[in-house]
Structure 1
Amino acid sequence: MTRDKKSDLINTLSESFKESSGIVVSEFKGLSVKKLEELRKSAKDLDVKVQVVKNTLASLALKNAGIDGFVLKDTNIFIWGEQLNVTKVAAKFAENNDLFNIKSAHIDGEICGVEKVVALSKMPSRDELIAMLLQVWNAPIQNFTIGLNALKEKKEQTA
């Protein structure tokens, strides 16, 4: 890779890391290409980016983005985007693949461990919360119509 391509990659990653609210660094050594494609597909569905980046280039990009505290060793894959989606993608994939290990994450402006990533992955997303709220709002109306229907059937039977 030429020096210009490296600097372009660093600039692109820096901007992307600045815009994202969650970054997860994971180890993927030993995973097949097919498994990595599954990870990329599940990430794409949730608008999350996944990329393998050399540690030196990633360190420079993170530093340019104002993110400090990551210890980058061995082979790493970076997953970034909206924090709940990132944690859901990483935790679900780690749960199904023994060779994929979450090392650390940058969420809410701080470096955190695997425990926080797993805890955040279990939280409902915005769309799930809206669906729950709509169910709660719909329940009284639904129960009222069921009651009216039962009353109507009872009146028809007595008539």
Structure 2
Amino acid sequence: MTKEEKKQLVGKLSEKLSNTDYFYITDASGMTVAEINDFRSLCFEKGVEYRVVKNTLIQKALETLETDYTDFNNNVLKGFSGIMFSPEVGNLPAKILKEYRKKSGKKDDPRPLLKGASIDSDLFIGDENLDTLSNLKSKQELIGEIIGLLQSPAKNVVSALQSGGDTLAGLVKTLAEREQ
């Protein structure tokens, strides 16, 4: 690859990283070509883009962004690296990684490994964060939960007033009939 081609690739990668709020860097070393292709297919089916990119090119692309990614440079960008870009949902790549590992059945060697992730400019480093990342809720899910929580007390009050009104009316009617 020529210097000009590398420069163009870094430019495209920088643009992609700046336009994506969620990306994961993985380590698929030790996987066969067929396994990587299966993983790539799973990503494609779920709407996540997966690319294998040289660490130096990733590092140069990250340097062009406003967020400080020095922790990635020191701890993540070593060995074989692939990037997963998730357009809208921050936990989707984590779920894909877990699903692929489960499907592959290799419990003693879970690949691909999570090297690092950037979720709305928050950095997560290490495979031990995979469970945490897979349990993250999307912005839409959180908004839905908040709306549900806000509506719940109002529904309970209205329900209690309605059922209480029926009970109260029945009680008054019963008492009125007794007095006659």
TM-score normalised over the length of structure 2: 0.62
Aligned counterpart, 1:81: 86
Does residue 117 (structure 1) correspond to residue 117 (structure 2)? The answer is no
- Matching residue within 92, 110, 133 for 2:99: 92
One-letter code aligned to 1:5: E
Match of 1:61 in 2: 61
Which residue is 1:23 aligned to?
23
Name stretches of at least 5 consecutive residues in structure 1 with no aligned partner: 134-159
- How many residue pairs match? The answer is 130
**Bigger mean CA deviation after superposition, 6-15 or 94-103:** 94-103
Q: What residue ranges of structure 2 are gaps of 5+ in the alignment?
A: 149-180
In 2, are the aligned partners of 1:94 and 1:101 still within 8 Å (CA)?
A: no
Q: 1:26–1:104: 8 Å Cα contact kept in structure 2?
A: yes
Asked whether the 8 Å contact 1:24–1:104 carries over to 2, the reply is: yes
- Offset from partner CA, 1:61-95 (integer Å, 9 cap, x none): 11113341313111111112232222222232344
C-alpha change, 1:30 and 1:115, in structure 2 (3 Å) is closer
Distance 1:94-1:105 versus aligned 2 partners, 3 A rule: farther
* Equivalent AA in structure 2 for residue 110 of structure 1: D
1:15 touches 1:65 (CA, 8 Å); kept in 2? no
Q: 1:24·1:90 contact (CA, 8 Å) conserved in 2?
A: no
Partner in structure 2 of residue 152 of structure 1: none
1:43 aligns with 2:56: no
What percentage of residue pairs aligned between the two structures are identical? Answer: 24
Please give the TM-score of this superposition, normalised by the length of structure 1.
0.69
Q: Deviations over 1:1-55 (max 9, x none)?
A: 0111111110111111111121111111110111111111111122211111111
C-alpha displacement at 1:102, in angstroms? 1.1
Q: How far apart are the structure 2 equivalents of 1:89 and 1:46? A: 8
Superposed CA RMSD? 2.5
Structure 1 residues 99 and 43 mapped into 2: Cα distance closer, same or farther (>3 Å)? closer
Structure label with greater radius of gyration: 2
Q: Secondary structure at the match of 1:105?
A: strand
How much does 1:119 deviate?
2.6
